[in-house]
Amino acid sequence: GLGSINIPVYVHIVLPDANAVSNQQISAQIAVLNDDFNTKNTNQLPSGATDFINDVTTTDIHFTLAGTYRYDDPKSSWGTNDAVKAAYPPTTPETHLNIWVCNIGEGILGYAQFPGGNLATDGIVLLHESLPGGKAAPYNEGRTATHEVGHYLNLRHIWGDGRCRQDDFVEDTPSAGGANYGCPTYPSVSCQTPDMTMNYMDYTDDACMYMFTDGQTNRMRAIFTDGGSRASMLG
């Protein structure tokens, strides 16, 4: 097998005052990624969700901060059309995860590029206030990054972006009829079986997200194997 996978990370802070996001927030964000991808998130499964206990899986994917760039830029809303990446290009995206932190606008918390896309736009974009200690409650504990890195590593939303028969290509995530929000109690049923509302690839509150599954772990790790779309990251 591949063993532990380490992903070095460049962070680009693009804000009118780029010091508005502190080094402490950036290291807290990297720590949340490491916790969430390695079953160290201190959230808990909702009471009664014993069906899901055995599905909670460590990915053994780790993140290390390689550098931070700060750009003072007066633009107040960057949208989701990759304008921020064109203005501030990624650094060695073939080997590094690039994270842009900015004001996206339109109520958007973050967006990501799936593997196999254009290297010039590869990476994830996060609303600055979604980082730990930011103001985007209940989405200010750093789990927007966890969710977006899930997409960056090939995961779909657990409802497959469709109704009950639309797949997320992962066997052990139960099908769901749509996104869940807030902090649902268990069971929350949309397609006959309980939804995995606490999965990082749902839309619930940061305080109520808890897990990746075995199937999601396999799907993410597969892109690092020989011939996989992110195999180059392992040098």
Looking at the Cβ atoms of 2 and 40, the one nearer to ligand ARG is 40
Q: Contact at 8 Å (CB) between 97 and 112? A: no
**Contact region with Ca ion (CB under 5 A), list: 125-133, 142-150, 166-174, 184-192:** 166-174
Looking at the Cβ atoms of 168 and 205, the one nearer to ligand ARG is 205
Q: Report the C-alpha gap between 188 and 81 in whole angstroms.
A: 34
Task: Give Cβ neighbours of residue 83 (< 8 Å, ≥ 6 apart).
Answer: none
| Options 106, 141, 148, 171, the catalytic residue | 148
- Check if 171 is active-site: no
| Long-range contacts of 133-140, Cβ-Cβ distance < 8 Å, separation of 24 or more | 133/24, 133/25, 133/28, 134/25, 136/109, 138/182, 138/183, 138/205, 138/206, 138/207, 139/109, 139/205, 139/206, 140/206
User: Which of Ca ion, ligand ARG, none has residue 71 at its interface (CB below 5 to 8 Å by kind)?
Assistant: none
Q: Contact at 8 Å (CB) between 31 and 46? A: no
Residue 122 identity (one-letter amino acid): D
The closest residue (CB) to ligand ARG is: 144
Looking at the Cβ atoms of 29 and 199, the one nearer to Ca ion is 199
Q: Is 168 in the site for Ca ion (CB under 5 A)?
A: yes
Minimal distance, residue 165 CB to Ca ion, in Å = 11
The pair of three-digit structure tokens given for residue 87, joined into one six-digit string: 């203005």
User: Which of Ca ion, ligand ARG, none has residue 147 at its interface (CB below 5 to 8 Å by kind)?
Assistant: ligand ARG
Q: Is 170 in the site for Ca ion (CB under 5 A)?
A: yes
Looking at the Cβ atoms of 54 and 80, the one nearer to ligand ARG is 80
Q: Is 233 in the site for Ca ion (CB under 5 A)?
A: no
Cα dihedral 78/110/159/1 (nearest 10): 130
**Contact region with Ca ion (CB under 5 A), list: 21-29, 35-43, 74-82, 168-176:** 168-176
30's enclosing H/E stretch is helix 23-36
* Interface with Ca ion: number of residues (CB under 5 A): 3
Q: Is 173 in the site for Ca ion (CB under 5 A)?
A: yes
User: Which of ligand ARG, Ca ion, none has residue 148 at its interface (CB below 5 to 8 Å by kind)?
Assistant: ligand ARG
Of 2, 55, 57, 64, which is closest to residue 33 (Cα–Cα)? 64
105 phi-psi bin (left φ>0, alpha ψ -120 to 50, beta other): left
Looking at the Cβ atoms of 66 and 79, the one nearer to ligand ARG is 79
Site residues for ligand ARG per CB under 6 A: 109-111, 139, 143-144, 147-148, 203-206, 209
The footprint of Ca ion (CB under 5 A) covers 168, 170, 173
Q: Which residues have a catalytic role annotated?
A: 148
